[in-house]
Structure 1
Amino acid sequence: MINSLDDRKDDLLVAIERFQLVAKATRDVIWDWDLVNSTVWWNEGIQQNFGHSPQDLQKGPQSWYDHIHPDDQERVVQKIHQVIEQGEPHWSDFYRFRRANGEYAHVHDRGYTIIVDGKPVRMVGSMLDITEQLRLEKERAESEASLKFAMEAAQLGTWNFDPFTKKIITNQRCRELYGNPDEEVLDYEIVSRYIHPDDKERARDATIASLDPKIRAPYDIRYRTIGAKDRVLRWLHCSGQAYFTDGGMPYRFAGISRDITDEVINREKVEWADKQAAMTIEGSGAGSFLVNSKTDEIIYSPTMAKILTGHEDRHVTRHIFIEHVHPEDLPIREKAYEVAAETGELRYEARFVWDDASIHWVRVIGQYMFDSHGEATSLSGIVMDITDRVHSEQRIKTSEEHLRTLIQQAPVATALFVGRDFVIDIPNAAMLKLWGKGDSVIGKPLLEALPELREQPFVEILKRIYETGDAHSEQGARGDIVIDGELQTFYYDYTYKPLRNSEGQIYAILDMAVDVTEQVKSRHALEKSEEKYRQLVNDLERRVQQRTAELNQTNAELINSNNNLQQFAYAASHDMQEPLRKIQSFGSRLQSLYSKQLDENGVFMLNRIQDASKRMSLMIDDLLAYSRLATRDTDFQPVGLKEMVSHILADLEIAIQEQKTSVIVEDLPEIHGNRPQLTQLMQNLLSNAIKYRKPDAPSEIRLLSREATAEEVLSIAKPLEGFSYARIVVSDNGIGFDEIYLDRIFQMFQRLHGRSEFSGSGIGLALCKKVVQNHHGHITARSTVGEGSDFIVFLPLANKK
């Protein structure tokens, strides 16, 4: 008896130990409910799964009740107590259990009742978190429902072919695509009967290639079917895939079929329409294109190639649309493509630069085509040369602006009446004053702005001009106008002149009027006014004649001034140089013979005299050289700059060595010009580049040359007709200058540095400018202080275009 009791205790200890081991080993929540003492024990799974520490939970069943979702609590508690009270062996339920973070988890809870002497004393159970499982099941159900809906919405037929039995399982839509065959069970031979005879072999080859273990080609084919019952011809797009065993045997071949009959018919219609449109487009002088959006391949007409490049045989790629667009119009093109990405419609007008550098206005109109996924597949459109239209519009705009300016500045009352409603446009200040209505009349029909004209003849006259096109004028015509609320009578000299557009149609009438009220009221006043008018005309003619005489006199004075300048230059060369040479000669003799007898101050003053005389001599020489440049187009012949520069560098060799200057000369062209003047030009530019070096850095000078572009030639005031121009650059790394002084450096006697820093007369660059002007060229410079200068000269090339 004792042994039996001990054995039972041992068994109980072993069972308890096993229970505790299981509770620790599993990740499930294990709970033990002592029904007698009303306590509940939880394993560590309660913390791992739900974040609750077993030590923090209450000992009683309330720790469980309080964590059940309020909507589930009554049902779950009632059911478990019913199981306990009825002594049933087990209990299970699904409900929501609150985690430590406040969220609720879906759980599957199971409990087993321990009964002693017919009375339940304990219940042991496990709680499983099934939240993720429920979520996955819900997503799978939703995915299956979505797939089914998509298949039905897309009207896709599904099929599953068994390679062993040759049987085909399809949905109802797939049977419809074959005309609803009578056979309940379909096989490959039955389906093949309804494939168009011309497509059967191709369809069979595609199936064989997909089922071949060595090829395993994707099944993607389009073919026609003839309906089993309705005999309707349909185009199908079938795609699928074969599945193979590890041994390489096909065990399943499944896929979908889609009716593409409308797509094929529409594509054929589009192709036919495209051909008709292309013929129409080419007949209108426009060019057509079609761009494959995926490959950028472009199909285009010869007309389009000519419109974009100037040559019908030019090979066109999509990049031509970018390369030939005028650089200033590239933003227009980019903006148009941004809009096209949203709307599908491409439309812009821009300048295109032809291969011959001529500029043409082109209108580009295109439309994107999209596939079923909304991705662009192609861009088709046309291009039109609208250069004539743009130029015409620009001329019209210029003409309109000119007309508006003339009207605004006209000395008489002037306005436009636009359209058959005679809408008032551009009335000048004189006309507004004449009407006495202010600018509120602008943009209104004439009878709305001046209703008092309704019973007067002016509106009928305007209507007649629109019908006949004949101008009308009157002198002293009566007009009754309301001014300041009072109807007053005035008399006008006026003219109605019709204005026509480019198509010859009348679009407006120009009204020019003069208030002659006082002249009509008093003939004498009128005669005086006419006399005054004649006097004004005569006075104007007299003033014109006087101004002409003044201009002639000014021109003569200018010629005389130029002659005086040449005479002064001659005097400077001969008469002034002689006493200056004596000063220099006697100064030199004083220095050599009497310098020891002079004190330090005397030697200093003698040296200053010598320096001043040298500068004076240099200035006289430069003035003489400048005065000799008065003539243009004299003895112009081909002049080789390369040979000339070589001689100049030889003359400047000592200065180059003293300044430690490196001179690099590239290939220089032949210039149409005067050799002595060009020599002065290049010698002055090179001398300046050598002189204005940085004292603490090696000096380098480069002579560069290339042919000037058409835009660069436009910067020349009066270029020689029939000549191309060279762009010659003398570049140095010297001290540079601030470009705000760019205009100043080419003026006479202008210096940016003191004589103590750099010697010179301030005439050198003025002489350079004069030489360039004599050669119908242009000179300018670019510079940065401390980094050097580029002097740029444009001169006519020896060879004509």
Structure 2
Amino acid sequence: MTETTLNERKNDLLLAIERFKLVAKATHDVIWDWDLARGTVWWNEGMQEIFGYRPEDIESGPNSWFDRIHPDDQERVVKKMYGVIDRGESNWSDFYRFRRADGSYAHVHDRGYTIQSAGKPVRMVGSMMDISQQLHSDKAREESEENLTFAIQAAQLGTWNLNPADKSALFNDRCKELYGYPAEADMYYERLVQFIHPDDRGRVIEAIQRTLDPSLRVPYDVRYRVIGASDRKLRWLHCTGQAYFDQSGNPYRFSGISREITSEITSQEKIAWADQQAAMTIEGSGAGSFMVTLATDEVIYSPTMAHILTGSEDSDITREVFVARLHPDDAPIRDAAYEEAAASGELRYEARFVWNDGSIHWVRALGRYLYDSLGNAVTLSGIVMDITDRIESEQRLKVNEEHLRTLIEQAPVATALFIGKDMVVDIPNEAMLKVWGKGRSVIGKPLREALPELEGQPFLGILDRIYETGEAHSEQGARADLVVDGELQTFYYDYTYKPLKNTQGEVYAILDMAVDVTEQVVSRQELEQSEERYRQLASELERRVGQRTDELHQANIELVNSNNNLQQFAYAASHDMQEPLRKIQSFGSRLLSTYSDKLDDNGKYMLNRIQDASKRMSAMIDDLLAYSRLTTREGEFSDVRLHDIVHSVLADLELSIQEQKTEIIVEDMPVVWGNASQLTQLIQNLISNAVKYRLPDHESIIRLSYRAVDEAERATLPKLLPDHDYIRLEVSDNGIGFDEIYLDRIFQMFQRLHGRSEFSGSGIGLALCKKVVQNHHGYITAQSQPGEGATFIVYLPQPR
């Protein structure tokens, strides 16, 4: 062998040694080299990194290895290793426990390979792998699988596995039980689907196909019924699972679990039935129901609720409807209600909602939160109710009460209102305060406390009886002993007690109107025996009292269910207030005719003023009566030709038109839907006003015209009849006009912008016009500037 050859082998050996060292450093195993001839063992750096032994702490002989093998494993491992060496075999491997430097034992997988020379092993090289973590994971997995098996058994879950290739199925015992124990021959897809209820079979097959579709790969989650293979028992199952696909996209496994939900479905059906009954009860009351899932804002609602909030049962709504349809001005009401509900769990508020047609409706919302076991709100359920009629009734009642208050305060006779069974004094006018002589301190007190001198007199007992029976009471010349200015004095009154009733027919107040007739009664008592005319007057007075009592009784029967205090007061005023006015006019006329020569000019002037005032009051009462009778029913409406009404009114007003030298221009008038009598009053009042309020020394021109109302203009108006078209009627003049800041005022009762010395009238005409237009579901307004005339605009419906 040449020196060159020796050098090459030496280099190859050095290279092999270098490679071995690199492998020993690179691997995560413990590398060992056992020189059998010398009896030494070499360990790489893994001995320290994995087991914690430093190189200087390890003996060089094989005992450094064997002594660290667990005593229970040592004999077996060493015997097996020497057996491989003695037999001259090429490799050895074993599993055992190896002690770490900290005294704990690691589970290792050790492998060795022998290097032989002349057919005899001289070295053994190997690697030791720490598999403790792997064994721990395997054990944990086994425990997890055991726990899963136990959980599946405890939950009575059925497990199944379907081979998409051959359509074979594998069920555990519970799954077989759920399917009624099918035979082994039935454990194939085509046979198993036959046990699914026919009504559910197509849905299940479609769900399976979607899950096995590699382009979809959706989870399998379906509820369906099965009919047991052998017991023919109907069961509801809830099955979930998924498909597994290979790299080519082909499904190779389809598995999952099945759970019986028959009792749940039965309970849900009972709950659904109970919910249905509750919903029917709610819907029967006119309310709409809803339930909101707070996590998703999903809302379940009844058609009635959709109608209450939007005006249409077909509306497709979300929870946003509670905000989107809410009137902007009422947003703070809803926000405050939700803040309170967050603390109390109870939601309640009343607010306006805007319908699809733009109309505004009042809605009352009531709700309650449902909480989970952690106290978190999960659902909000409740009802909504349309309370528009109630709100409008309350508003009308408020307006009527304001009108009643105005009428009482302006009444020329002593008038007051007694509220409740305690007869609390309310709204006494100045005339009544003067009668009582107590000042305004009586307001707000019970009548017994305000006028204690009434105890023992019949008035308190009569008032109590009226509250019980609801029957009106009136007397003429009734004696009343009152403390006036600290002195008990006797007076005589013509008075009427008129009960006011609510919509339930219950008396809630009594209207007291009284006229001081003390002088008349005293005069009658003194002259009764000598003056026949006074006896005749007394007889006539008694006849009229009976007639008026019958009329008041009949009016009470007709107004049992009415809450319109204005009509009640106007009716009473039209009969009870006219009588003293007629007396004033009668006695005034007699004074003028009998004693005119004994009166000076000032006395005659005052009598004439009394006569004029009484005539104006009589006219005002007549206008009030006309206003109170302005009611109509839909059945009284018909097609009305405005052309005929306008020309009839112009004929009636011909004299005043000629006196004012007024030119009337009437364009062609349409046919409208309404009440001819009321429309005549409307046209007559509008034309009369235009004629009356002319500019002095100017030619007076009045024009009547109309045009159809388009949708854009209609949307700006208050609520109109949805199934009628409307016309816009205009009555224009070039008179004195008015400032539009008084626009709302001119349509109110007794509101005048000018004194009686300038223009005559009762101040009721335009209020009457507004009432007629309201009866016709229309709208009235005006446009004007001072000195530039006025245009009154009326919207009226046309026939269908």
Using structure 2 for the length normalisation, give the TM-score.
0.39
Normalised TM-score (structure 1): 0.39
